Amino acid sequence: MALLGGIEAGGTKFVCAVGTGPDDLRAEVRIPTTTPKETISQVIDFFRQQIGQMGELAAIGIGAFGPVDVCANSPKFGWFLNTPKPAWQQIDFAGMITRELAVPVGFDTDVNAAALGEYRWGHGTGLETFIYLTIGTGIGGGGIVGGQPIHGLLHPEMGHILIPHDLSVDPFVGACPFHQDCLEGLASGYAMEKRWHQRAESLPADHPAWPLEAHYLSTGLINFILTLSPERIILGGGVMAQPRLLPLIRSQVRERLRAYLEVPKIMTDIDNYIVPPKLGNKAGIMGAFVLAQQAVR
C-alpha cells in the first residue's frame, strides 16, 4: 500500500504521522499549536524529513479544527475560517501543505476525520449512520451517513448548538467567544477550566463538575439522537478520560428521554450505544490516513 501522511490539526496540538493504518504507523510527532507560522513550519519540516528517509508520500490527509472550508470546489477549500482559535482565522492551511510538499491533500474537520477512522477500523464499522463527538479543549461533532461525512452548507458544528442554561444552578456565563453558553461554551475542557479554575484532568471523581458536565453533554446527545437518529454515538477527547463521566452521560440520556424512544439500543443496551472510540486517541490520525487515501483515488 502506498505510504500516506496524516495531520490531526487540533486546537492544542498537531499530530503528524506517516504510515498506512493502525498496524503500520511508521513515524509520529506532536507539535504544540502556537502561531500558524511556527506550527505549520514544523509540520512541513516533519514531512520533509520523513520523505527524505522513507520516500515520497502518495497523499496527505488533514483533519482540522473548525470552522473550515470543506467544499472541494470552493476557492477557500482547506482554509481555516472564523475559528475561535486566536490568530488562526482565514489561513490557507491545505494550500500551504500542497505547495510546500507537492502532494495531493485530502481535507475535512478533525471530528469528521476521527469518524472516518472509526468507520474504517473502529466502532463505526458496518454501521450506516453514527456520530463522533470529541469533548476536549473545544467540542466538535462529525456525522457519517453511508460511509461519507455529512457536509452541506459547510460542515456540522455540533459543539455550538444552543442548550438550556439555568443560571441559578450554574452562574458561569460560558466560554465561547461567539455564543457564550452554547454546548462548547458550557462543557468543553476550556469552559471547565474557566468555571472551576483548574483543568478537567485535575478534578477529582467526586467533584460536582462531573454531574454538571454529564447534564450538558447528555442534553446535547438527546438533541442529536432525536434529530439525526444515529445508530451509535462515539465520544472521544480528553475530558472523556474521567472514568465517571461516561456512565453518568449514559444514565442521564436514558432517564431524560423518558422512554420516548423504546428501542433496545437505548433502553437495555446503552453501554454499546454510547461508547468511547475503539481507536482511542488514534482515531483522528487514522481518519487522516483515510482522507489521504481518498485524495489518491
Rounded Cα distance, 148 and 142, in Å: 10
Nearest partner of 283 among 10, 69, 51, judged by Cα = 10
Question: Does an H or E element contain 275, and which?
Answer: strand 274-275
pTM of the prediction? 0.92
Range 47-51 contact pairs with CB under 8 angstroms and sequence separation of 24 or more: 47/5, 47/16, 47/18, 47/101, 48/101, 50/5, 50/18, 50/26, 51/101
pLDDT at 1: 72
Give the mean pLDDT of the chain: 94
Q: Is the pLDDT of residue 260 over 90?
A: no
Rounded Cα distance, 145 and 136, in Å: 24
The grid coordinates listed for 108 are 475535512
Quick one: pLDDT band at residue 86, thresholds 50, 70, 90? confident
What would the mean pLDDT of 256-273 be, rounded to a whole number?
A: 89
Q: What is the pLDDT of residues 104-154, one digit of tens each?
A: 999 999 999 999 999 999 999 999 999 999 999 899 999 999 999 998 877
What would the mean pLDDT of 33-37 be, rounded to a whole number?
A: 95
Angle between helix 283-296 and 110-121 (nearest 10): 90
